[in-house]
Amino acid sequence: MKEIMTLIRRHQVPATKKAFEDAGFPALTIQSVEGRGKQGGIGGWAAEVDPELNSVMSPDFADETRFNWIPKRLLTIVVQDDQVEEVVDVIIKTNQTGHMGDGKIFVCPLKEVIRVRTGEVGREAVV
Amino acid sequence: MKMIRAIVRPEKTESVAEALAQAGMPSLTKMHVFGRGRTKGIRIGDVVYDEFPKTLLLLVIEDEKLDEAISVILESAKTGTMGDGKVFVTEVEEAYTVSKGTKGL
């Protein structure tokens, strides 16, 4: 089993949930988090319009305001080993805009899963 | 790659993030959590406080940066008293960047 953790834009959550459902992965956990990527947050008033503007604008126009913590959603979903590729594809297809801030996907190994209600372990516990 | 989950004091969040950025690791995610440690919380009079607000910092880094990241976190989150937090390290097999669709951090 693998645990797939993905950080995505807030407004993409409904679309991602729908895409997961259509692909047959209805179970997921959603957390509200704040974070930043390798750009270290976004800065300047222009970032509110489009983060990419900062790189093409002259520095005189940019101001000191910076957003160090950008609100994101962290989705955690547990799947079988052979389903990882499919889920990663679904996430990328649904969330890709091509601009920075689309998010990251992390695939982590998972030792054991236990369903609390029945005590099932392993494969059966994940559906 | 490794995932570091560091539970730190909320008031130390900014200094840890700043120290990591100085060390060349600006990417991280924070979330607000509640928990207790092995002291089982503290008792003041009749009241037991055992759900302390903490910040969970989550970052994924390359293996060779692990030791540096941990030492930066330990240094910047330290006050020397109980409740400074814990650092957990787990394995990450793959990472993808959604905007480019590429593999890797």
If pLDDT is split at 50, 70 and 90, which confidence band does A64 have?
A: low
pLDDT at A42: 73
ipTM of the complex: 0.88
- The answer, for A39 touching chain B at a CB cutoff of 8 Å, is yes
CB contacts, 8 Å: A39 with chain B: 26
Per the listing, tokens 């560091």 go with B6
In tens, the pLDDT along A8-38 reads 999 999 999 999 999 999 999 999 999 998 8
> How many angstroms separate the CA atoms of B77 and B9, rounded?
7
> How many angstroms separate the CA atoms of A110 and A108, rounded?
6
According to DSSP, residue A121 is labeled B
CA distance A65 to chain B (A): 16
- In percent, how much of chain B has pLDDT > 70? 100
Binary contact (A33, B26; C-beta < 8 A): no
In this prediction, residues A41-50 reach a mean pLDDT of: 65
- The chain-wide mean pLDDT, for chain A, equals 87
Residue A65 has pLDDT above 70, yes or no: no
Residue A6 has pLDDT above 80, yes or no: yes
pLDDT at A48: 58
> How many angstroms separate the CA atoms of A74 and A15, rounded?
14
Beta-sheet pairing, B28-35 with B52-61: antiparallel
pLDDT at A61: 62
In tens, the pLDDT along B56-81 reads 999 999 999 999 999 999 999 999 99
